[in-house]
């Protein structure tokens, strides 16, 4: 990890015995900003409980809610591997022992930043346990490394909003340059997860490496329009900017009923509709909770009529990121 070592000294007497953390799910891309925009939601999210133990090392005590899909081997599990990295970075990996309970409250491979929420929860927990030797900015590169371990690519558009809260812009990847954007108060997400598995790794492989200049021009116009709309709290500008001409046409084929769901959301008055992260969750970004709820309900009803199981979540944008429970 290429960082300057300006970390606080750890006071071993002040290390906590246990800490329980909630870390939020995220809607990466925010429709038009592939790999650079994302926002956190109040729910769902994951919980991490971390215990200080006498024997040095990092171990997974238990994982629940994952249907047995995540590795409990501490070297292979993303959360424990990232916690280990932080302990090594702080130079205390031989002195500290921690055990981790991971409680998943959201489906894996859903496009809701499931691995990011767990990683951010784990890193926020170890930092809290140790008395916050690192700032959030200093923790972020470790979170990105977790994303790389989880899906083979270190994009930051899930981990940044999960850690920082709110809406974040990844202005640059190397070095990381993350900007928190204003959050218009009435912005709500009506999220529906059709129960089909779309691993981020696969969804990324589908995307074309090259794009047409005219499409790039449309896309960066939309991204700039969205950012201006957020600063101006101009919902009409936000609405007409949230269109994705680069990624959605390719990924939509992985999501059952995508274009019908889109029509339903827009007819229900959503500002925009699109894929959450790499899918298959979809999101009706709306002005006000009622519209978001209504859009999500109608989408879910349609999926039920098509005999496709789904979950739905309606949430405002989460402002603060992880929290101690
Ligand atoms: N920006 C990433 C993607 C998010 O769309 O592949 C993955 O959750």
DSSP string, 241-307: H---SSSHHHHGGGSTTHHHHHHHHHHTT-SEEEESTTSS-EEEEEESHHHHHHHHHHHHHHHHHTT
Return all residues near 153 (Cβ < 8 A) that are at least 6 apart. Answer: 147, 200, 201, 204
* Residue having the nearest C-alpha atom to atom 1 of ligand 1: 35
116 is in an annotated binding site: yes
Instruction: Give the ligand 1 atom nearest the CA of 276.
Output: 8
Compute the half-sphere exposure of residue 83: CA atoms within 13 Å on the CB side of its CA: 36
What is the location of CATH 3.30.230.10 in the chain?
12-180+320-324
Neighbours of 14 (CB within 10 A): 8
Instruction: Give the ligand 1 atom nearest the CA of 157.
Output: 1
Is the backbone peptide bond immediately before 104 cis, with ω within 30 degrees of 0? Answer: no
* Residue having the nearest C-alpha atom to atom 4 of ligand 1: 277
Name the pTM for this structure: 0.94
* The predicted structure's pLDDT at residue 247: 96
321 is in an annotated binding site: no
Place of tokens 């600063």: 231
- On the 0-12 / 13-18 / 19+ scale of CB atoms within 10 A, 293 is middle
Percent of the chain scoring above 90 in pLDDT: 87
Which uninterrupted H or E stretch holds 51?
strand 37-53
CA–centroid distance, 16 to ligand 1, in Å, is: 35
Would you tell me which CATH number, out of the four given (3.40.50.720, 3.40.920.10, 3.30.70.890, 3.60.21.10), belongs to the domain 187-316?
3.30.70.890
Strand partners, 26: 40
126 is in an annotated binding site: no
Ligand 1 proximal residues by C-beta, below 6 Å: 28-29, 34-35, 113, 155, 157-158, 200, 203-204, 277-278
What does each of the 325 residues of the chain score in pLDDT, given as a tens digit?
A: 545 555 678 888 899 999 999 999 999 999 999 999 999 999 999 999 999 999 999 999 999 999 999 999 999 999 999 999 999 999 999 999 999 999 999 999 899 999 999 999 999 999 999 999 999 999 999 999 999 888 788 889 999 999 999 999 999 999 999 999 999 999 999 999 999 877 778 888 889 889 999 999 999 999 999 999 999 999 999 999 999 999 999 999 999 999 999 999 999 999 999 999 999 999 999 999 999 999 999 999 999 999 999 999 999 999 999 999 9
Among 278, 280, 281, which residue has the most ligand 1 atoms within 8 Å of its CB, making it the best to mutate?
278
Query: Within its chain, how far is the Cα of 104 from the centroid?
Result: 14
Q: What are the φ/ψ torsions at residue 39 (nearest 5 degrees)?
A: -140, 155
Instruction: Give the ligand 1 atom nearest the CA of 113.
Output: 8
Strand partners, 39: 27, 167
Per-residue pLDDT tens over the stretch 231-246: 999 999 999 999 999 9
Return all residues near 294 (Cβ < 8 A) that are at least 6 apart. Answer: 190, 268, 269
What is the location of CATH 3.30.70.890 in the chain?
187-316
Instruction: Give me the active site residues, please.
Output: 147, 200
* Residue having the nearest C-alpha atom to atom 3 of ligand 1: 278
User: Angle 21-22-28 (CA atoms, 0-180°, nearest 5)?
Assistant: 135
| CATH (residue range 12-180+320-324) | 3.30.230.10
* The predicted structure's pLDDT at residue 11: 87
Per-residue pLDDT tens over the stretch 74-100: 999 999 999 999 999 999 999 999 999
| 238 closest CA partner among 203, 276, 286, 274 | 286
Which uninterrupted H or E stretch holds 218?
helix 213-232
CA–centroid distance, 281 to ligand 1, in Å, is: 12
Query: Within its chain, how far is the Cα of 7 from the centroid?
Result: 26
CA–centroid distance, 322 to ligand 1, in Å, is: 20
| 103 closest CA partner among 165, 23, 198, 15 | 23
Tokens of 94: 């031989």
């Amino acid at each position: 990890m290429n960082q300057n070592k300006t970390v606080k000294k750890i006071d071993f007497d002040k290390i906590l015995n246990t800490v329980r953390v909630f870390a939020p799910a995220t809607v990466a891309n925010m429709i038009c900003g592939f790999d650079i925009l994302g926002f956190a939601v109040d729910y769902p999210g994951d919980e991490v409980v971390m215990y200080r133990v006498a024997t040095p090392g990092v171990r997974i005590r238990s994982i629940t809610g994952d249907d047995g899909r995540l590795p409990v081997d501490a070297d292979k599990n993303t959360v424990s591997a990232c916690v280990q990295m932080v302990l090594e970075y702080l130079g205390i990996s031989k002195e500290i022992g921690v055990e981790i309970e991971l409680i998943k409250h959201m489906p894996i491979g859903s496009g809701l930043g499931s691995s990011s929420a767990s990683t951010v929860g784990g890193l926020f927990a170890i930092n809290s346990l140790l008395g916050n030797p690192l700032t959030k900015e200093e923790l972020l590169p470790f979170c990105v490394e977790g994303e790389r371990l989880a899906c083979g690519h270190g994009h930051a558009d899930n981990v940044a909003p999960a850690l920082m809260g709110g809406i974040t812009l990844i202005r640059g990847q190397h070095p990381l340059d993350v900007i928190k954007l204003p959050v218009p108060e009435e912005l709500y997400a009506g999220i529906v997860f059709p129960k089909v598995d779309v691993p981020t790794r696969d969804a990324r492989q589908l995307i074309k490496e090259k794009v047409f200049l005219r499409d790039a021009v449309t896309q960066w116009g939309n991204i700039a329009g969205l950012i201006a709309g957020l600063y101006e709290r101009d919902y009409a500008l936000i609405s007409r900017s949230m269109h994705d001409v680069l990624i959605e046409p390719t990924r939509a084929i992985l999501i059952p009923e995508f274009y019908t769901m889109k029509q339903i959301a827009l007819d229900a008055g959503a500002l925009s509709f699109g894929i959450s992260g790499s899918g298959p969750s979809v999101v009706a970004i709306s002005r006000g909770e009622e519209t978001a709820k209504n859009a999500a309900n109608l989408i879910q009803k349609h999926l039920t009529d098509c005999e496709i199981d789904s979950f739905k979540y309606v949430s405002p944008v989460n402002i603060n990121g992880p929290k101690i429970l």
